[in-house]
Amino acid sequence: MVHHDPAQQTTVARAVELTGVGVHSGADVTLTILPAGADTGIRFVRTDGPAGPAVPAIWQSVAATELCTMLEGTDGRTIGTIEHLMAAFRGLGIDNALVEVDGPELPIMDGSAAAFVEELDLAGTYPLGMRRRMIRVLKPVRVEIGASIGELLPCDMPRFDITIDFPSEVVGRQSMVFDLTPGVFRKELAQARTFGWLHEVEALWKMGFARGSSLENAVAIDGDRVLNEEGTRWPDEFVRHKALDAVGDLALAGRSILGLYRSYKGGHRLNVAMVKALLADSSAYDLVPAPTEVAKAPAREMLLDARV
């Protein structure tokens, strides 16, 4: 990997192509990631059917958060399951790219961001000669949706404090706290897979969803046991995946958030609501050049806390 001035905006150095199955459609889908100029951000384009408009990966484009994070273009066509790729872009510090997709959702790959990270690392990044700016949190912002609670707080690093709590012996209550750097993302989050309960997947099958879901792309739980023969990749893979989702969803702010994101029993709906709440209050944030201590991805690339 070539290292550039970490304060500069980046894009991919060359085109990247991945093919896999759509977790809900069950159909094969190919995505192509192309370089884009400074301040373009991440944009998605459907290439099946008539040429459609590019859809910016920002919270205003979000159409649904129930089963995945889904964007909708001005032509009404949607692009779903974007969160793992968005997490890879944010985790690796890639600011700008055009993503072409030949279907209504991104391929699920193995249920994590690992394949995206591998291909993006092979492609490398290209510096664009323009300084990266970040959204700095100035005061606490809080959202509650039922039992889910989210907060954004001032912090000198992009920090995450994620807690999940399920009535299951396999999952239970798990928490992790980390500063988001490329090293932490690659080592601690990228390979964490999506998970779900067998009875919920069976119900989705009956409704025509999750047709591509399998033990190849999800951790399946039946009662208090994991059905995957290989088990979990970490004892706390479940909270790591929720943290991965949070990184991807918060990237819909359009820029990296300089602050602490704390969530309890969160999910896509809460994550997107937190971005909306922050940016709806102009006194809660400002835009700042990427600070040197963030941009340089400090040597303390480690989990601040991880407990099962």
For residues 260 and 177, is the Cβ–Cβ distance under 8 A?
Answer: no
Render pLDDT for 259-270 as a digit per residue (tens, 0 to 9): 999 999 999 999
Q: Of residues 24 and 66, which shows the higher confidence score?
A: 66
Residue 144: per-residue pLDDT? 98
Render pLDDT for 59-80 as a digit per residue (tens, 0 to 9): 999 999 998 999 999 999 999 9
Tell me how far CA of residue 253 lies from CA of 95, 124, 172, 231, 306, in angstroms: 12, 24, 30, 34, 26
| Mean pLDDT of all residues in 139-148 | 98
Give percent above pLDDT 70 in the chain: 92
Banded model confidence at residue 4, pLDDT cuts 50, 70, 90: low
Residue 300: per-residue pLDDT? 40
Residue 148 clears pLDDT 50, i.e. is over it: yes
Provide φ and ψ at 221, rounded to 5°: -115, 130
Give me the sheet containing 173-179, strands edge to edge.
141-145, 148-153, 260-264, 159-165, 173-179, 303-307
Residue 23 clears pLDDT 90, i.e. is over it: no
Residue 307 clears pLDDT 50, i.e. is over it: no
CA pair distance 303, 281, nearest whole angstrom? 31
For residues 102 and 252, is the Cβ–Cβ distance under 8 A?
Answer: no
Render pLDDT for 218-241 as a digit per residue (tens, 0 to 9): 999 998 899 999 999 999 999 999
CA pair distance 298, 274, nearest whole angstrom? 27
- Tokens describing residue 17: 């192509």
Q: Which residues does the annotation place in the binding site? A: 84, 241, 245
| Mean pLDDT of all residues in 110-133 | 97
Render pLDDT for 284-306 as a digit per residue (tens, 0 to 9): 999 999 876 544 444 344 455 44
Helix (H) or strand (E) holding 83: helix 83-92
Q: Which residues does the annotation place in the binding site for Zn(2+)? A: 84, 241, 245
| Mean pLDDT of all residues in 140-150 | 98
Residue 304: per-residue pLDDT? 53
Mean per-residue pLDDT of the chain? 91
> Domains in the chain and their CATH numbers?
8-131 (3.30.230.20), 133-307 (3.30.1700.10)
Check 4, 24, 199, 268 and give the catalytic one. 268
For residues 185 and 207, is the Cβ–Cβ distance under 8 A?
Answer: no
4 among known catalytic residues: no
Residues 6 or more apart whose CB falls under 8 angstroms from that of 159 comprise 177, 178, 179, 180, 259, 260, 261, 304
Residue 200: per-residue pLDDT? 83
Residue 202: per-residue pLDDT? 79
**How many CB atoms are closer than 10 A to CB 222?**
12
CA pair distance 264, 99, nearest whole angstrom? 31
Banded model confidence at residue 3, pLDDT cuts 50, 70, 90: low
Q: Which of 42, 52, 5, 46 is nearest to 29 (CA)?
A: 46
Residue 91 clears pLDDT 90, i.e. is over it: yes
| Mean pLDDT of all residues in 10-22 | 97
Residue 298: per-residue pLDDT? 41
- Tokens describing residue 194: 């999506």
CA pair distance 61, 229, nearest whole angstrom? 38
**How many CB atoms are closer than 10 A to CB 10?**
24
Residue 67: per-residue pLDDT? 84
CA pair distance 141, 213, nearest whole angstrom? 35
| Mean pLDDT of all residues in 186-193 | 98
CA pair distance 86, 44, nearest whole angstrom? 11
Q: Letter for the amino acid at 23? A: V
Quickly tell me which residue has 């709590």 as its tokens: 165
Residue 303: per-residue pLDDT? 53
